[in-house]
Amino acid sequence: MKTVILVLISFYLKYNSASPPRLTEKCGLLTTTLDSVISERILNGSNATPGAWPWMVEILQGNTHRCGGALISSRHVLTSAHCLTQTPKKFFRVLLGSYSRQQGVKEGLKEEIETICMYPQFLKDKFETDIAIITLKRPVECSGTIRTICLPDINDNP
């Protein structure tokens, strides 16, 4: 059943990419310059500018950070499968539009999960199979801090 859902999501994303009703026409655009966020090394890190990475989401278990993910459509989040094992989905929420992981600072839009579809051959210690798609209970609206990431067309060369 999960394989069927994954195939359906793939077809949905492929055929919906040709039609206008996407979350945003400006998917994958940064709200800051690349020079200010990309460097060869990370030394002590730097704080993200609010809204700089609008497709990034935080997956919460209760109110605690569990994992990150990327918003790939108005209802779908791409993440790592290992983040979602051993805990029922009812304990997870997806936080969108937030830029701070500090405890108690959870601004943004918290959404419930409808389904979790893991790669059928997922193995805990296999990086190549560590992928899952979360379907949100309802679609999210585009804003200055919430936007989808661009996915390549199926015919694009890597």
Does residue 60 fall inside a structural domain?
yes
The whole model's pTM is what? 0.72
Does residue 143 fall inside a structural domain?
no
Residue 61 maps to which CATH number?
2.40.10.10
Does residue 113 fall inside a structural domain?
yes
If 0-12 CB within 10 Å is exposed, 13-18 middle and 19+ buried, where does residue 146 land? buried
Q: Which amino acid is at 84?
A: L
- The predicted structure's pLDDT at residue 157: 74
Does residue 142 fall inside a structural domain?
no
Q: Which of 51, 48, 2 shows the shortest CA–CA distance to 31?
A: 51
Instruction: Report the number of distinct structural domains present in the chain.
Output: 1
Does residue 112 fall inside a structural domain?
yes
Alpha-carbon distance of 57 to 78, in angstroms, equals 9
Q: Show the domain range for 109.
A: 2-31+50-136
Does residue 102 fall inside a structural domain?
yes
Q: What is the mean pLDDT of each run of 10 residues along the chain (158 residues)?
A: 51 46 53 55 68 92 93 96 91 91 73 94 84 96 91 77
Does residue 39 fall inside a structural domain?
no
Does residue 57 fall inside a structural domain?
yes
- The predicted structure's pLDDT at residue 34: 53
